[in-house]
Amino acid sequence: MSEKKLIPLQILTGFLGSGKTSLLNEVVASPDMKGTVLIINEVGEVGIDDKLIENDRPAILLQNGCICCSLQDGLVNVLHYLIEVRDNGELDVNRVIIETTGIADPAPIINLLFNYIDIEYNYAFAGTITILDGVNGKNELAKNYESVKQIALADKIIISKCDRISPEDIEALRVTAHDLNPDALVFESAPGKAPMDAFVAFEIFDTPKDLGTIMKWVNSRRKDYKLAAGMTPVKQTGVMTKALPTHSSYETVTLEYDRPLNRISVMNTFSMLCRQFGEAVLRLKGIFDFGDGYPFVIHGVQGECYPVTNKASWEGKDPFSIIVVIVSPRIAGDVEEMLKHFITYAEPEEQL
């Protein structure tokens, strides 16, 4: 009897807006990634990241919660389901990539993979890949403990947006990443220049890293690097018996529309939102129907909106608009009120 082939499983993490989904679009389009299944986690009630994946790879969405603290049961069920459809010949599953929320702590997910016999019997943990935001990384490490933990637990670190920063800034981030996690391999990325080796080449891990040792190292260096402070442990779901630190409090504001929106009202509202609330708007993303026959995509990170891009088509779906904004709880109500008040529907003559 031939030896059972284990499915490599990688975790892709990185703070809000670091560029995980954009990088995935490039990586999974490669022929080397044939048979890759994506498991995408979102914290909002309405998911959007799976709609931003522009390829034919299967994508499964886990939404309205974070797999590090509230959707662990859902992740286990999905992993079991993939084995079932693979064994039945219904789906080609050669690799699984879990894209976490931007505020996820990878530690409970890594531990989860080693606490289920069925998962260990069918999957081989192929490491954690963390995206370090080239533009906002330094600030995120100082303000958000999740970002610190994501770097500390990485097996590979990818510095994103290298086309937008200087070689000196890249080197400074390399030094910080190495000091926080000396064992991790560090890569660079920019649009059209995804580091494929970070995904294609991997080692199989028999046991997770010693999380206690890693966190002692991080905590001992906090004053030197002005790292964000740790968080209070919370109770896990039934699949975990040990309480682990999880992410701090953020809220998600989600709005949906079933008719074309006025383009100017959307752009002006987002501009006003970023000016008024700045870095308290951690992440802003949306797919929009402006009545042009194809969808538009808008991204924003910590008070900065990126240029508007359009996708090729609605791919047979009815046009729609979805806005997702991840914000500090203190401004969630104001943000929702602003969006509802200033974004308007397009007039009939605007819909060409």
Q: Which CATH architecture has domain 7-225?
A: 3-Layer(aba) Sandwich (3.40)
The 10s digit of each residue's pLDDT in 213-249 is 666 666 666 666 677 766 443 333 434 334 344 455 6
Hey, CA dihedral for 162, 163, 167, 169, is it positive or negative?
A: negative
| Complete DSSP assignment for 172-185 | HHHHHHHHH-TTSE
The 10s digit of each residue's pLDDT in 105-147 is 787 788 777 777 788 889 988 989 999 999 999 988 888 888 8
CATH 3.40.50.300 domain locations along the chain: 7-225
The 10s digit of each residue's pLDDT in 163-179 is 999 999 999 999 999 88
Q: Would the pTM of this model clear 0.75, i.e. be above it?
A: no
Query: Quick count: other Cβ atoms within 10 Å of Cβ 290?
Result: 22
Question: How far is Cα of residue 314 from the mean position of the Cα atoms in its chain?
Answer: 23
User: What is d(CA 179, CA 292) in angstroms, rounded to the nearest whole number?
Assistant: 49
**Which of 199, 221, 254, 214 has its CA nearest to residue 106?**
214
Contact 184, 154 (CB under 8 A): yes
* CATH value of 251-350 in 3.40.50.620, 3.90.79.10, 3.40.50.300, 3.30.1220.10: 3.30.1220.10
CATH 3.30.1220.10 domain locations along the chain: 251-350
pLDDT given for residue 186 in this prediction: 96
| Complete DSSP assignment for 31-53 | GGGTTEEEEEE-SSSS--HHHH-
| Complete DSSP assignment for 309-324 | EE-S--TTSPP-EEEE
